[in-house]
Amino acid sequence: MWLLNAAIFFVLFAFALNNQDSVTLNLFFGASWQAPLVLVILVALVLGVFLGVLVMLPLWLRAKRSRRRAASATASTSFDADSTLLPDPVDRRHGL
């Protein structure tokens, strides 16, 4: 497994070394930003991960809350020795 991770790292490292050229990112209102291509790709990746987590956060919190409610509901249900799940020692249906 470490060999696969090392291969992926070296491929990405070679990609970064081959793309050190400066690119110009044209923003709104005539503003522009010049940076190496690898940096622009890294910023886009981090921004995408951040936005993905931000969008999924309400769903994760809602699921966590429902799991907590379900766990507390099952934990509060307890059965004692007189529970209807246990057989009745005296059969009252037949008058015995």
Q: How far apart are CA 22 and CA 36, in angstroms?
A: 4
pLDDT recorded at residue 72: 83
Q: How far apart are alpha carbons 39 and 25 in whole angstroms?
A: 11
For the chain, 96 residues long, give each residue's pLDDT as a single digit of tens: 889 999 998 998 888 888 788 889 888 998 888 988 888 888 899 999 999 999 999 999 999 998 888 888 787 665 544 455 555 566 666 655
Beta strand pairing call for 22-26 and 32-36: antiparallel
First to last CA, the chain: 71
Rounded CA separation 66/72 (Å): 10
Question: Strand, helix or coil at 76?
Answer: helix
pLDDT on residue 96: 54
